[in-house]
């Protein structure tokens, strides 16, 4: 089964609970989770006048083809009450497909690898924790090398070892 790397993010509501529920739902609909990063908090990227984000990277095995995995990610967002009102706006949950094996895909619905991954420290830091040696299929460098080269100045802070009880 293919391995996919996802980034979960939330900056509205109970962010920890929303990410925890997203992991449960993704396990049920997309496949088993093989690795989870710690939680990281970052100021908003793109549209900066909003609450800080809590992010977590997820590695999962999936039998779903990429566009069906996208549908599972979108369904997970909807279950969390996601509303798409403003691009890069505040949200209860965001689930992005960062990498899907060595696949390179560019369709109107989905681009893999995620086209802005190399410029987003908030995605690269948690992804490096669980997949530092994974190769970016188009740039031909590891995720750790992408992080080293990233010019994004937003600070990314680990905030918790585990889900709060």
Residues 6, 10: Cα–Cα separation, whole Å: 13
Among the four given CATH numbers 3.30.70.560, 3.40.50.300, 3.30.2310.20, 3.40.1190.20, the one describing domain 3-159: 3.30.70.560
Do 11 and 44 form a contact (C-beta atoms < 8 A)?
A: yes
pLDDT tens across the length of the chain (165 residues)? 999 999 999 999 999 999 999 999 999 999 999 999 999 999 887 766 789 999 999 999 999 999 999 999 999 988 877 776 666 667 889 999 999 999 999 999 999 999 999 999 999 999 999 999 999 999 999 999 999 999 999 999 999 665 554
Q: Catalytic positions, please?
A: 82, 91, 94, 96
Q: Where are the domains of the chain?
A: 3-159
For helices 15-29 and 66-79, the axis angle rounded to 10 degrees is 140
The pTM for the full model equals 0.93
């Amino acid at each position: 089964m293919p391995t996919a790397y996802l980034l979960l993010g939330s900056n509205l509501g109970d962010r920890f609970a929303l990410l925890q529920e997203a992991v449960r739902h993704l396990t049920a609909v997309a496949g088993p989770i093989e690795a989870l990063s710690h939680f990281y908090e970052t100021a908003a990227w793109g549209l900066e006048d909003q609450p800080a984000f809590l992010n977590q990277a997820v590695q999962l095995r999936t039998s779903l083809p990429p566009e069906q995995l996208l549908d599972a990610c979108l369904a997970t967002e909807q279950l969390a009450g996601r509303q798409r009102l403003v691009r890069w706006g505040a949200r209860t949950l965001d689930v992005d497909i960062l990498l899907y094996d060595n696949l390179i895909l560019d369709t109107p619905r989905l681009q893999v690898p995620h086209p802005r991954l190399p410029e987003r420290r908030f995605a690269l830091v948690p992804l490096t924790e669980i997949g530092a040696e994974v190769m970016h299929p188009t740039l031909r460098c590891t995720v750790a090398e992408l992080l080293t080269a990233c010019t994004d100045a937003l600070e990314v802070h680990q905030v918790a070892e585990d889900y709060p009880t």
